């Protein structure tokens, strides 16, 4: 074989091997980049889940605070309404007693008038 033939064979072997090695290094590089991207995605996912969890916790606390405040206001309103209803019932009982007293006085007065009338009528 001539030197040219040997050189041609060597080049035809060396170039594909070099391209293969270069290609493998590029594949490794891409694989590393994909691994880094997956790690970043996992980190971002963990951050997002944590942030969502914090916000849900804050929202739940605000809902609980609002619920407590509304319950307190409802209790205050119920107490005030009960107090007013009791006052109204007491006032109605007083008015009823006064009315019965006035009616009794009216009947008593009518009875006296009737007796007076009968007395005058029997004198005649």
For the segment 53-90, what is each residue's pLDDT rounded down to a tens digit?
999 999 999 999 999 999 999 999 999 999 999 999 99
68 sits in which H/E element: helix 3-123
The whole-angstrom separation of Cα 25 and Cα 34 is: 14
Q: What is the pLDDT of residue 15?
A: 79
Question: pTM, whole model, 2 decimals?
Answer: 0.50
């Amino acid at each position: 074989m001539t030197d040219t033939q040997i050189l041609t064979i060597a080049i035809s072997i060396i170039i594909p091997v070099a391209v293969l090695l270069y290609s493998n290094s590029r594949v490794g590089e891409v694989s590393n980049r994909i691994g880094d991207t997956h790690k970043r995605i996992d980190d971002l996912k963990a951050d997002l889940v944590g942030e969502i969890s914090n916000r849900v916790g804050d929202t739940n606390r605000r809902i609980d605070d609002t619920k407590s405040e509304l319950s307190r206001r409802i209790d205050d309103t119920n107490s005030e309404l009960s107090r007013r209803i009791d006052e109204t019932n007491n006032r109605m009982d007083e008015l009823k007693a006064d009315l019965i007293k006035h009616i009794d006085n009216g009947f008593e007065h009518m009875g006296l008038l009737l007796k007076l009338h009968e007395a005058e009528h029997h004198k005649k």
